[in-house]
Every structure is written in C-alpha cells, then in structure tokens.
A = this chain, B = another copy of it.
Amino acid sequence: MNEKPQDESSPWPLEKVVAELRQVRHEWRERQGREPDLGTRELPAHRQIHEVIDALCGILFPMRLGPSDLKKESEDYFVGHQLGHALNILAAQVRLELGCQQPRLTHSLQVQKANDIVRRFASTLPELRRQLDQDVIAAYRGDPAATSVDEVLLCYPGLLAIMHHRIANVFYSDGLRIIARIIAEKAHAATGIDIHPGATIGQHFFIDHGTGVVIGETAVIGERVRLYQAVTLGAVRFDEDEEGALTKGEPRHPIVEDDVVIYAGATILGRITIGQGAVIGGNVWLTRSVPPGSRITQAVLRQSIDPAG
C-alpha cells in the first residue's frame, strides 16, 4: 500500500496506528515463540462456547430454561434438535483446543478424538441432570426464603453456578482447560461465584447469595455442603512467594467433608480438612484442619462502641 497518498483531511492516523499495532503483535508473537506461518485462530471462541452452554441449560431443563413458548409435547423434539446442534458446535471447539495442544496430530485424528470426547460428554447429560435435581432440592431446603423448587431453578445464582461447574468439570477432566475455563468464567461473570473447573464437588451442593465465593482448582467438597457469599476455599501463598516460578497443579486447596456449612466471608486456606458436619462461622479465618462436628466461630472482637456517637 505504499503508493497510497496520506489524505490531508483524514481525521485519524489509521495507517500509522495499524502499522504500530502490527509491530507490537509481531514482537509479542516472537517473544512467545509463536509459529510465523500460523494462519488461523487455533483457540476455542467465547461466542460458540456460550451458545453451547445456553443450549445445554435448555436441554437439561427444557420447560424452565428452554424457549418460553415450548410445550411439553414438543420437549423431546426440542431436546434432540438442540442437542445435535450443540454437540456439533462443541465438537468443532474441542477439536480447536486439541489442535492447539497437539499441533502435530493430523486433522482427521483431531476430529476423531474430539468426537470421542463429545460423545462421552453427551452420555453424561442424564446423570448431570439427576445431580442438578439434587442441587435444586438442596437449595430449596437450605434457604428459608425459597418458596418453591421453581423459584430456585429460575432465580438462584448458586444453581446457575453449579450447573456451569458440573459441565465445565467434565471438560477439565478431559484436559480441555480453556473450554472449561470459558464455561466457568461465564458463570463467574453472571453470578460473582468463581469456581475453578478443576474443583471436585459432591451431591446436594448449595451456595446462597454467592457473590465473592472463590473455590480453588484442587478443592474437594463432599455431599450436602452449604456455602454462603464471599466464602474462600483458597491456597496459602506466603510460602510459594519466595520461589520465583510457582509450582503448578499441586493439591493446595481445602478438603471439605460431607454436611459441612460455611457461613459468609469465611476464608479457608491450604490443603486442610474440614471434618464432616462441621459448621464454620461467618468471617472465620482458617488455615488448620478441624475435626468432624466442630463449631468454629470468630471470637467476638472487642468493639469500640460509643453510644453517644
């Protein structure tokens, strides 16, 4: 484009900015060792994954999260049609991530592996729905403000979060980290609940309110556990800070056994165990394991109360 005369009246320095941006991209790609001849986007895309997830919500709960004009007599047709559509898109995205992980695999082997993964995923959907039904029950029983299971399904961000997590976790288990994270972040953006797709979560799980909850990659949560907003199941980080590069993938988040309740704002850090049936009070800060059946409450702080103002 060297013969193009710079238009005097042009308000924006488009050519200059475009060239400089190309230069910065070039530098980044060189530093990252990216192949110079890479012609296409090799990564899964938000829009497609989001479309798949929205379709799956409708597939799992057609009369509640499907199209508002769906009739019960059309349920199976809707489910079958949406499922075929969603799995096709998904297979293409899975292949993209596999191709990114194993660029030397032939295209047709990538397709075959992707189809295998998606076929297995499809087979888990009925069990997934069964688990989510239990999560709905757990929410209904766990919140005095809930007046019906329908209210839970339509209005509880905690349910939305666990629905996304149970789907994301399947892909994480298959090594598809980026797809899994895109799903998890979709829920995080909508609910403020940040569950890493690697976390292991048992049946009858309920998070109330939820904003600010963080559950780490290697956390393990038992059955019938209940969490409130702003609970953190995180890693202790002081030790790792000195090391320079961080060790990735080690178990570093808590194990929470069955029937535990953790109230709002509690921070539980490190590979510790919260014993079965324990109740952790609001704002408690815990870095050591506690035995089954414990009741942990924050000591009442001496508060400066000046009744006269």
CB distance from A105 to the nearest CB of B (A): 15
CB distance from A201 to the nearest CB of B (A): 16
Residues of B within 8 Å of A109, CB to CB, are none
Supplied contacts A241-B279, A279-B309, 7 more A-B pairs, CB within 8 Å: A13-B119, A17-B126, A21-B129, A47-B68, A237-B261, A294-B307, A297-B303
**B73-A7 in contact (CB<8A):** yes
Cα separation A84 to B294 with both chains bound (whole Å): 55
**A303-B293 in contact (CB<8A):** no
Least CB separation from A5: chain B residue = B36
Residues of B within 8 Å of A240, CB to CB, are 144
Cα separation A144 to B271 with both chains bound (whole Å): 15
> How many A residues face the partner with a CB closer than 8 A?
159
Among the interface residues A2, A71, A143, A261, which one has the most CB atoms of the partner chain B within 10 A? Answer: A71
**A144-B249 in contact (CB<8A):** yes
Residues of B within 8 Å of A125, CB to CB, are 17, 20-21
CB distance from A80 to the nearest CB of B (A): 3
Q: Verify if A173 is at the interface (C-beta below 8 Å from B).
A: no
Least CB separation from A112: chain B residue = B11
A71 and B84 in contact, given A9-B39, A76-B22, A250-B144 (Cβ under 8 angstroms): yes
Q: B-facing mask of A266-309, CB < 8 A → 1, else 0?
A: 01010000000111011111100011011111111111111111
**B144-A71 in contact (CB<8A):** no
Which residues between 169 and 223 of chain A lie within 8 Å of chain B, taking CB atoms? Answer: 177-178, 181-182, 184-185, 188-192, 194, 196, 198, 209-212, 214, 216-217
Least CB separation from A147: chain B residue = B177
Residues of B within 8 Å of A198, CB to CB, are 145
Cα separation A283 to B298 with both chains bound (whole Å): 12
Among the interface residues A115, A185, A190, A212, which one has the most CB atoms of the partner chain B within 10 A? Answer: A212
**B283-A308 in contact (CB<8A):** no
Cα separation A85 to B62 with both chains bound (whole Å): 14
Residues of B within 8 Å of A191, CB to CB, are 189
Nearest 9 A-B pairs (CB), nearest first?
A: A77-B80, A74-B84, A45-B68, A293-B309, A20-B126, A2-B2, A77-B81, A155-B181, A1-B1
CB distance from A244 to the nearest CB of B (A): 9
CB distance from A58 to the nearest CB of B (A): 11
Cα separation A286 to B250 with both chains bound (whole Å): 32
Q: Verify if A167 is at the interface (C-beta below 8 Å from B).
A: no
Least CB separation from A114: chain B residue = B11
**B157-A188 in contact (CB<8A):** yes
Cα separation A20 to B15 with both chains bound (whole Å): 18
**A303-B309 in contact (CB<8A):** no
Cα separation A93 to B28 with both chains bound (whole Å): 32
Residues of B within 8 Å of A290, CB to CB, are 305, 307
Q: Verify if A102 is at the interface (C-beta below 8 Å from B).
A: no
**B214-A264 in contact (CB<8A):** yes
Residues of B within 8 Å of A309, CB to CB, are 277-279, 293-295
